[in-house]
Copies of this chain bind each other. A is one copy, B any other.
Amino acid sequence: MQRNSGAAAPAAASESSATTTTTTTPASSEYKDIVYTLDSGVATIRFNRPTRKNAFTVNTYREVERALKQAGADPAVRVAVLTGTGDMYSSGNDLSNFLNIPEGGPEQLARESAKLLEDYVASYIHFPKLLVAAVNGPALGVAVTVLGLADVVFATDRATFKTPFTALGQSPEGCSSYVFPQIMGPIKANAMLLLGQELSAAEAERVGFVSQVLPHEHFHDAVHRKALEFAKLPPQSMQISKRLIRERTLGVLDEVNRTECKVLSERWLSEECMNAIMAFMARKQK
**Residue among A166, A191, A259 with max Cβ neighbours from chain B (10 Å):** A166
Q: How far does the alpha carbon of A166 sit from the alpha carbon of B229 in the complex, in Å?
A: 12
What number of A residues sit within 8 Å (CB to CB) of B?
65
* A263 & B166 in contact (Cβ 8 Å cutoff): no
Q: Does A210 contact B (CB under 8 A)?
A: yes
**Neighbour of A237 across the interface among B171, B183, B185, CB < 8 A:** B171
Interface residues of A (CB under 8 A from B): 1, 4-5, 8, 12, 15, 130, 151-153, 165-172, 177-178, 181-191, 193-196, 207-211, 230, 233-238, 240-242, 244-245, 248, 252, 256, 259-260, 262-263, 266-267, 270, 272-273, 276
A267 to B209, CA, bound (A): 30
Q: What's the least CB distance linking A162 to chain B, in Å?
A: 15
Do A241 and B194 touch (CB < 8 A)?
A: yes
Report which of B170, B196, B241, B272 forms a contact with A171, defined as CB distance below 8 A. Answer: B241
Note all chain B residues with C-beta closer than 8 A to A183. Answer: 185-187
Judging by beta carbons under 8 Å apart, are A191 and B211 in contact? Answer: yes
> Chain B residue with minimal CB distance to A270?
B236
Chain B residue at minimal CB-CB distance from A164: B233
11 further A-B pairs in the complex, CB-CB below 8 A; given A169-B234, A194-B242: A4-B266, A165-B241, A167-B234, A169-B237, A171-B241, A183-B187, A185-B207, A189-B245, A193-B241, A193-B245, A248-B256
